[in-house]
Each structure stands twice: as C-alpha cells, then as structure tokens.
C-alpha cells in the first residue's frame, strides 16, 4: 500500500513539474515576439483590484474602533485566489522577461548595469543578509517576488515605461472613481469618522478602497503626477480625474502626502514649464502671474509674522490638545516605535533583528498591536538589517537619485517627482519594502521602470 502512495506522490510531482514547465514555456512563447509584453498591465490593474476587492468583499466598517477593524475584516476566498493568480502571472512574465533578455542575442542591452547592481545589493543586504544572519530567522515565499519582478522591471524598454505610466494612470483613476462611488453608497466602508485634523470642520478621513488614509493619500499624489506627465486625451475625463484626485488627497488628510504633492508638482512644473513661467513672471504687460505669486508669499509671511508676534491661534491650541494634535507632535506615536527600533539595533548592530521585526510575537512584547513596521524606512532597515542593510539602502538611494537626474529630461521630470514622493513617505512609512506585491511595491517598481526605460531610450538615441 505504501508503494502505491509513494507512486501517487511521484505522479503528482511529475504533473506539477510539467504544469510549471508548460506555463513558463507558454509565457516565453507568448512574449517571444513582443518587446512590450503584458508586464506593465499586470503590475497595474490586478494589484489595485486585489486591494479594492479586499475592502468590498471583506465588509469593512470604519465606524468601529480602529483596533477592532483589522480583526473583523477577513479576506474573502475570491480575493485569496485572485491574489495568488495575480502573483503567479506576474512572476511568470517576470521570468519570461529575464530569460528572453538573457538568451536572446538581439535584445537591447540594459540601460545601466549599475542600476541592476544597486537593486541586487539592496535586496541582498536588506533581505538575504537578515534572513541568514539576523537574530531571528524567517522565510516566506513572498520574499522572493521582488527579486524576480524588480530585475524584470529594470530590463524594461522605453515603450514599457510609457505603457506602465498609462496603465497606472488608468488604474488609479478607476480606483479613485470607485472609491467615491462607495463613499456615496456606504460611507462607513471608506471613511474614518470623528477625526480632527488640520482642516477645521472636516471630521472625516478618506481611506477610499485602500487599507488606510495614509496609503490613499500617496496614491492620489502618484495619480496627479501621472496626469501631469501623461494626461488623458479627453479633456473632460482629464478634468474629472484631476478633481477626484485632488478631493481624495484633501480628504485623506495625510500631511506627508500634501507636502509631497506640493514639492513634486512644483518640480514637474519647473522641469517642463520653467521657460514659460519665467517669461510670464517677468512679462510686465501681463502681471497677473507675478502678482498672484507675490501675493501668496506675502500672505504666508503675514500669517507667520502674526503667529510669531502675537502667540498661538486658539484653534491651534485646541488642535494640539486633541489626540490628533498629540499624534502630530509625536508623529502618531511613531517616536515610541522608533525608540524600540533603535533598541533592537543596539542589541544587534551588524545584521539587525531580522525579518521578524514587528511581527505578532515582537509586537506582543511591547504591547503595540498596530505597529506592523517601524514607520520609517531608515529605522526599519536599521533595526531589521543592521548596518549592512543601511549600507545597501544608501547605495540604492544614491543610485536612484543619480540616474533619476540623468533621465530627468527624457522622463519629463517624472523620475525625480516619484523619488520625491517616496522620500517624503520614507519619513513615516516603509515605501521600499521588499516582501510581497502590494501598493508600496508597485510605486517603487514604477520608479525603477521609469528610470530603466528612460536609460534605454537615452542609450538608443544618444545626443548628437
């Protein structure tokens, strides 16, 4: 009987291996005559669909206490299987891109091997190193996703890049549109109530179909940047999405997202329209632009001067006495989390605590059930991967910044604008995470594809 069971296992293993080989062969055949595969599309719509379905089918109710919401929301089986299928397809098309690039002699060479090296160093020092040498060892299959997907993205062409920009713009536009549809039908699913932020009289906080307002805010920033660089051909659709994007950004009440929007859009405007703005600003026959800018600056100086000379305004005092005001001063309790991260680094300085940092066991030790990570890219890397991880992070960021400026013109400023968004988000979140395939990873992959695709374009059409 045992021989029959072992024979059954052997047949099942053969079937599984054959199925995987056929899938890989099929994906290679499907993309063999395409330099522009479905890869950018797969990185756009399915990931956002998984997030939206998780919220809708999970029956989320944000009117409940914040500590209870994550416990009550369960993933629907449809979401689980759709997520698995999405990850499988993305991995297959990533392997197709890597294998085709490796074995096809007619493939264009990568724009810069330094970008590929920097990404692999970042992955090795922030995931492989703590996995083997960290204080607590932990492995999950989703830690492998970004290795293959990230390398495949760096092999992107210029056409891939603009297809990714277009698909991401469309996917985010649909995401915010359906978020407002759900707001009209069932507000408690997409808004936190009784929130007192910086906007007087606005007591709600909009999370949309994302899992948190601090996620929805940056998504809207990315949407606005993509609309700026590649607007819809239909002007009415373009205006509607701009309005929805700005409304979603405002209602999310994410302070770092507001600052990132101001900095990134200012940079895009300077990059693409600095000559026109300079001409209008110094055109004394049409002084409206110069007068408007100077008036705004004078108003800001006037308010700041009054604030300094006559003390704090009453609404500021009232706000700082609230829980939200206290959260702002302490970065929503993040200073306590940073202290814990520093403590873990001091105990494990070279390779860090490991990838288990802030898992269920670790959070129970410090009674911080909501701290799923260090709420800072630097502190997360420092605590989980130690000084080795910090070296990899600095090398990776420096490489992104260097090549971001190099392709600034060919990407219409989008490379640096996305870098600005990630930089602002790095202060209080972990946007350069390397496990799973979620919203944070997609923004990072978008930046990588913009840089890689633009580098290939520069290499293919050098300046004469």
Three-state secondary structure string covering the chain = CHHHHHHHHHHHHHHHHHHHHHHHHHHHHHHCCCCCCCHHHHCCHHHHHHHHHHHHHCCCCCCCCCCCHHHHCCCCHHHHHHHHHHHHHHHHHHHHHHHHHHHCCCCCCCCCHHHHHHHHHHHHHHHHHHHHHCCCCCCCHHHCHHHHHHHHHHCCCHHHHHHHHHHHHHHHHHHHHHHHHHHHHCHHHCEECCCCCCCCCCCCEECCCCCCHHHHHHHHHHHHHHHHHCCCCCHHHHHHHHHHHHHHHHHHCCHHHHHHHHHHHHHHHHHHHHHHHHHHHCCCCCCHHHHHHHHHHHHHHHHHHHHHHHCCCHHHHHHHCCHHHHHHHCCCCHHHHHHHHHHHHHHCCCCCCCCCCCCHHHHHHHCCCCCCCCCCHHHHHHHHHHHHHHHHHHHHHHHHHHHHHHCCCCCCCHHHHHHHHHHHHHCCCCCCCCCCCCHHHHHHHHHHHHHHHHHHHHHHCCCC
307 pLDDT tier (thresholds 50, 70, 90): low
In the predicted structure, residue 448 carries a pLDDT above the cut 70: yes
Q: Are 227 and 172 in contact (CB under 8 A)?
A: no
| 174-189 mean pLDDT | 92
| 364-368 mean pLDDT | 70
71 pLDDT tier (thresholds 50, 70, 90): very low
Residue showing tokens 């909501």: 370
The pLDDT value given to residue 422: 94
278 pLDDT tier (thresholds 50, 70, 90): low
| 139-167 mean pLDDT | 89
- Computed over every residue of the chain, the mean pLDDT equals 79
pLDDT > 70 in the chain, percent? 72
> Among 51-60, 86-95, 145-154, whose mean pLDDT is lowest?
51-60
Q: Of 217-231, 293-307, 370-384, where does the model show the most confidence?
A: 217-231
| 147-154 mean pLDDT | 93
228 pLDDT tier (thresholds 50, 70, 90): very high
| 333-359 mean pLDDT | 83
For residues 141 and 456, what is the distance between their CA atoms, to the nearest angstrom?
A: 31
In the predicted structure, residue 452 carries a pLDDT above the cut 80: yes
57 pLDDT tier (thresholds 50, 70, 90): confident
| 313-326 mean pLDDT | 48
């Amino acid at each position: 009987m045992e021989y029959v069971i072992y024979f059954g296992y052997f047949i099942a293993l053969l079937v599984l291996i054959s199925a995987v080989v056929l899938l890989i062969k099929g994906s290679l055949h499907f993309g063999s005559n395409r330099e522009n595969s479905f890869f950018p599309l797969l990185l756009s719509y399915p990931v956002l669909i998984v997030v939206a379905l998780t919220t809708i089918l999970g029956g989320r109710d944000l009117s409940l206490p914040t500590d209870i919401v994550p416990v009550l929301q369960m993933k629907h089986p449809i979401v689980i299987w759709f997520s698995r299928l999405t990850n499988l397809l993305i991995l297959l098309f990533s392997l197709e891109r890597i294998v085709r690039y490796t074995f096809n002699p007619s493939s264009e060479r990568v724009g810069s091997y330094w970008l590929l090296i920097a990404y692999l160093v970042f992955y090795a020092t922030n995931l492989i190193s703590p996995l083997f040498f960290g204080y607590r060892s932990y492995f999950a299959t989703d830690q492998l996703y970004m290795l293959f997907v990230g390398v495949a993205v760096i092999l992107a062409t210029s056409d891939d890049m603009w297809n990714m920009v277009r698909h991401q713009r469309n996917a985010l536009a649909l995401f915010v549109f359906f978020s407002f549809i759900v707001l009209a039908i069932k507000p408690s699913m997409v808004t936190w109530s009784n929130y007192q932020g910086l906007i007087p009289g606005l007591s709600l906080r909009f999370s949309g179909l994302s899992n948190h307002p601090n996620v929805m805010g940056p998504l809207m920033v990315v949407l606005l940047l993509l609309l700026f660089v590649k607007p819809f051909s239909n002007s009415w659709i373009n205006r509607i999405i701009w309005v929805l994007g700005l409304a979603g950004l405002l209602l999310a009440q994410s302070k770092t997202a507001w600052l990132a929007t101001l900095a990134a859009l200012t940079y895009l405007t300077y990059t693409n329209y600095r000559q026109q703005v300079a001409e209008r600003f110094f055109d004394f026959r049409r002084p409206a632009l110069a007068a408007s800018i100077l008036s705004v600056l004078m108003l800001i100086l006037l308010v700041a001067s009054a604030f300094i000379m006559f003390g704090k305004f009453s609404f500021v005092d009232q706000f700082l006495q609230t829980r939200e005001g206290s959260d702002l001063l302490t970065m929503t309790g993040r200073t306590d989390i940073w202290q814990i991260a520093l403590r873990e680094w001091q105990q494990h300085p070279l390779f860090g605590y490991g990838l288990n940092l802030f898992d269920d066991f670790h959070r129970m030790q410090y009674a911080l059930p909501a701290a799923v990570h260090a709420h800072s890219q630097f502190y997360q890397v420092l605590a989980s991967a130690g000084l080795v991880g910090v070296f990899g992070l600095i090398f990776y960021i420096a490489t992104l910044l260097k090549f971001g400026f190099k392709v600034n013109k060919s990407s219409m400023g989008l490379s640096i604008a996305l870098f600005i968004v990630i930089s602002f988000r790095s202060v209080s979140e972990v946007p350069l995470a390397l496990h799973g395939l979620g919203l944070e990873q997609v923004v990072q992959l978008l930046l990588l594809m913009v840089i890689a695709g633009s580098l290939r374009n520069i290499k293919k059409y050098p300046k004469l």
